[in-house]
Amino acid sequence: MFTTSYKLTLSTIAVLAIATTLSAAEVGAITTFQANTTAKASEVNNNFITLKKAVNDNNSRLGTVETSKQNRVSGACGAGYYLQSINADGSVVCKADIDTNSGGDITGVTVGGGLEGGGTNGEISVKQASGYVSISNTALLAYNNGECTLLRPTLYSYFSTAPATNGCFANAPVNLPDKATITNVTCRVMKNDADSNTYIYVELTRHSLGDNSNSTVAHLETHNPSSSIRTLTATGALLSNPIVDNSQYSYVLTYDPPLATSTLGSTERFYNCRIGYTY
C-alpha cells in the first residue's frame, strides 16, 4: 500500500513542479529510485520537502507578478484634461488642465515695420507686408539726347520743347521688392490738347538683364482731352508678368505723350504713379 500510494503522489507533484518551471524557479536536486529496490523514508521525505519548497517559491513569485504587472493602457483623457497617472489595470487618472500657461513667457507676437501678421493666441503667422512704391514727377528723366526739354514744376512734369518730327518720352527707375506680386498700377496724368486722336500713355516694363529684351507689366493710356487730372488704373487681367524677379529683370516706368512740339507745352502732364504689391 505504501509503495503504490507513494508512486501516485510523487508522480502528481513532479508534473506540477515541471509545469511551474515553465514560468518560475526550477526544482532542486531530488533522489532517483531504482526499480525493485528499497526506498528509504528519509529520501522520500527529502524529495517531498524539495518539491514543496519549489512549489511554494513559484507560488510566491507568480503571486507577486500577478499583483504587480502592468496591463496595456486602455484609458484616455479628454479635451481640457491631462494624464496624471496610469493604473495597473490599464485605466488612467486624468486631471483638469487649469494652468493654461505652458511654461513659456511669450504672450503674443507683435510685428515690426515691413511685416504683417502676429497675434496673441491660436496659430500665429508673420509675413512681409503688402505695400506700395510711388514714383513722383521729379523721378522722370527725358530721353532723345537732349532734344527734349522736360520741366518739373512742383506737382507735375511736362515737355516744353520737342523736335518737330520725333516725340519725347521720359523714364523713371522703379525699385520693387523681390518676389512680390504686383496687384495694381495707378497713374495720374492730364491730356488737355485739342486732338482726340492722339494718345498719352504710361507703361511699366521690365528689362531683361540677360538679353536686354523688354516685356510689358502694365500699360495705361487715354486719348480724351480734358482739363481735369485723369486717373488711369491697371489691375487683374490688365497686368502681365506680375511677380517681381530682381535677379532677372530691372523695372522702368515710361511716360510717353503724343508726338509733341513746343506749342503743346503744359497741356500734357505727368503727375505721379503708385504701384501696389503683396506677398
Rounded CA-CA distance 94/21 in Å is: 40
| φ/ψ bin of 60: left (φ > 0), alpha (ψ from -120 to 50), beta (otherwise) | alpha
Tell me what pLDDT residue 4 has.
39
Rounded CA-CA distance 262/265 in Å is: 6
Dump pLDDT digits (tens) for 66-96: 556 778 888 889 888 888 898 888 898 999 8
Classified as helix, coil or strand, 111 is coil
29-38, 172-181, 254-263: range with highest mean pLDDT: 172-181
Tell me what pLDDT residue 179 has.
94
Rg (CA), the chain: 48
Least confident of 30-34, 37-41, 122-126, 163-167: 163-167
Rounded CA-CA distance 48/10 in Å is: 8
Rounded CA-CA distance 109/90 in Å is: 42
Dump pLDDT digits (tens) for 198-225: 889 999 999 999 999 999 999 999 988 8
pLDDT band at 13 (very low <50, low <70, confident <90, very high): very low
Beta bridge mates, 277: 131, 182
Q: And the C-alpha cell for 252?
A: 522702368
- Cα 264 to chain centroid distance, Å, stands at 56
Question: Strand 200-208 to strand 141-142: parallel, antiparallel, or no bridges (unpaired)?
Answer: unpaired
Contact status, residue 251 vs residue 173, Cβ threshold 8 Å: yes
pLDDT band at 175 (very low <50, low <70, confident <90, very high): very high
Contact status, residue 166 vs residue 147, Cβ threshold 8 Å: yes
pTM of the model: 0.57
Tell me what pLDDT residue 145 has.
61
Q: What is the mean pLDDT of residues 152-180?
A: 86
Q: What is the mean pLDDT of the chain?
A: 81
Q: Which H or E run includes 232?
A: strand 230-235
pLDDT band at 23 (very low <50, low <70, confident <90, very high): low
Alpha-carbon distances, residue 12 vs 17, 61, 185, 278 (angstroms): 9, 21, 101, 89
Residue-level length of the chain: 279
